[in-house]
Amino acid sequence: MLIFAPERFIAAEKQDIEERKNYNDSSPVRHRAYVVRRAFLTSFVLVVFFGTVGFLAGTFMNAIGRCVTPDTVLLLQVVGASLLLWGTLFVRGWEIRTYSGVVFTERVNQWLYRFLCCVGTAVVVYSVAFVACTK
């Protein structure tokens, strides 16, 4: 929606702002150490999960006899690495940042970053799993 229909995204952001005005977070504020710890563990789980997805996809393709050529492995590795770089530059290289980190646009920015990194990781691991079939 953000990329292909910015007008719809702007309308959704306005609605999100209205909903957040009435949001009352009465829970105690957690210390930043816990926030960092949770982020570290969550990212670890995502890496393991998407690495497993890529490995299982490669193993499945091997099991059904769909071995790939070395050129395809190279292409998959380039695509995966490119997605990882794109995701990193997307988040780290632009000015979509607020002090609180809860603006709708910033949250969507983070979702896109995580999606690109997760898919990039799965593609790279998928291509590596195919290498075993070509040997």
Task: Give the pLDDT confidence of 24-45 residue by residue, as tens digits.
Answer: 666 677 776 777 788 778 888 9
The per-type count for the chain, helices as H runs and strands as E runs, is 4, 0
Report residue 130: phi and psi, to 5°. -70, -25
49: left (phi over 0), alpha (psi -120 to 50) or beta: alpha
| Structural domain includes residue 60 | yes
Domain containing 75 equals 33-134
The pLDDT value recorded for residue 61 is 84
Better-predicted residue by pLDDT, 101 or 68:
68
| Structural domain includes residue 116 | yes
Please state, for a pLDDT cut of 90, what percent of the chain lies above it: 4
Helix (H/G/I), strand (E/B), else coil: 19: helix
Q: What angle do CA 21, 27, 33 make, to 5 degrees?
A: 110
| Structural domain includes residue 28 | no
pTM as predicted:
0.55
Better-predicted residue by pLDDT, 113 or 135:
113
Better-predicted residue by pLDDT, 34 or 52:
52
The pLDDT value recorded for residue 130 is 62
| Structural domain includes residue 1 | no
Q: Number of structural domains, the chain?
A: 1
What is the average pLDDT value for the chain, to the nearest integer? 77
The pLDDT value recorded for residue 98 is 58
| Structural domain includes residue 45 | yes
> Which range among 47-56, 105-114, 124-133 has the greatest average pLDDT?
47-56
Better-predicted residue by pLDDT, 73 or 131:
73
| Structural domain includes residue 21 | no
